[in-house]
Amino acid sequence: MAWSVSFFIFISLLVFAPICFSTKTNDGNLYPQYYYRSCPKAQEIVKSIVAKAVAKEARMAASLLRLHFHDCFVKGCDASLLLDSSRGIVTEKGSNPNRNSARGFEVLDEIKSALEKECPQTVSCADILALAARDSTVLAGGPNWEVPLGRRDSRSASLSGSNNNIPAPNNTFSTILSKFKRQGLDLVDLVALSGSHTIGNSRCTSFRQRLYNQSGNSQPDSTLDQSYAAQLRNRCPKSGGDQNLFFLDFVSPTKFDNSYFKNLLASKGLLNSDQVLATKSQASLALVKQYAENNRLFFEHFAKSMVKMGNISPLTGSRGEIRKNCRKMN
């Protein structure tokens, strides 16, 4: 009897081994257990360093979350954003969406260094970005989710892709939705992921036109609450002050919650790309209202959309590489 029980356990382990223990994918799919055998402390290491960085500066949570977004929208989630210019590489860090605003690279360097000591050339920079985005969200009070893993790192970057694929603050609603659909994302993903603007900051230069000349007629944006606009003008003049920072969600700027959507309904979205979610599409407005009323629903949709975004064109199998240094190819 004892032998037959042992044999049953042995057979069971064989059956489940590909799911629980394998570090390679057969079909290119990502899965949360990817590093369970090859680097079992990987997620713990990432989380501890992100926690230390966010404790030092709350804004870092939004910065790390944004890096994952800006990486995935260009050539897929392959850490191309992290490459510095060298050997024929023109860095994406110099693109319009990233120049003078993308930050948090030193935190990722620290994570990568710690992981290389623990398990050399095992954990990709692309997966570090995905884990850091999740951990940042949780640390700010947002939802948790299992991060599918197994991405590899690209050997190239795309400055033009960064300039053209990432939604800009002044884009129209239809342009933003088109950029999401190009990545295989839909309207729910657009509205839910925009909710990440419940934390973080934006520069004066990203929304100045709303305060002074939204439609080329020297008039402010009529969809912006005018008392809120007056407050913004105090530190965002017609000229100068380009780098002055403003909370994307002035109600709870460091807490991941649904107040961002409540702000949109009150005509107090900071960026044009935020406010159009409530003014240019009835379907989008319906989602904004749902999330404003139901924080749990927002969290649920946000987590699902983050997994979906993280699955954009990953390099798996023998494609790409596992960088030793996230800033340069091996």
Q: How many CB atoms lie within 10 A of CB 244?
A: 17
**Which H/E stretch holds residue 133?**
helix 125-139
The rounded distance, in Å, linking the Cα atoms of 146 and 196 is 18
Q: How many residues are recorded in the chain?
A: 330
Shortest CA distance to 247 belongs to which of 277, 271, 278, 211? 271
Shortest CA distance to 170 belongs to which of 218, 230, 216, 228? 216
Shortest CA distance to 243 belongs to which of 69, 74, 105, 103? 103
Q: Taking a C-beta distance cutoff of 8 angstroms, is the pair 25, 150 a contact? A: yes
Shortest CA distance to 213 belongs to which of 272, 164, 265? 272
C-alpha pair distances (Å), 103 with each of 45, 86, 210, 293 = 20, 20, 25, 32
Q: Which residues are part of the catalytic machinery?
A: 70
Residues whose CB is less than 8 angstroms from the CB of residue 105 and which lie 6 or more positions away in sequence, other chains included: 67, 82, 326, 327
Structure tokens belonging to residue 230: 């007056």
Q: How many CB atoms lie within 10 A of CB 221?
A: 21
The rounded distance, in Å, linking the Cα atoms of 262 and 164 is 30
Q: Where does residue 322 fall: left (phi above 0), alpha (psi -120 to 50 degrees), or beta otherwise? A: beta
To 5 degrees, how large is the angle CA 170–CA 268–CA 200? Answer: 70
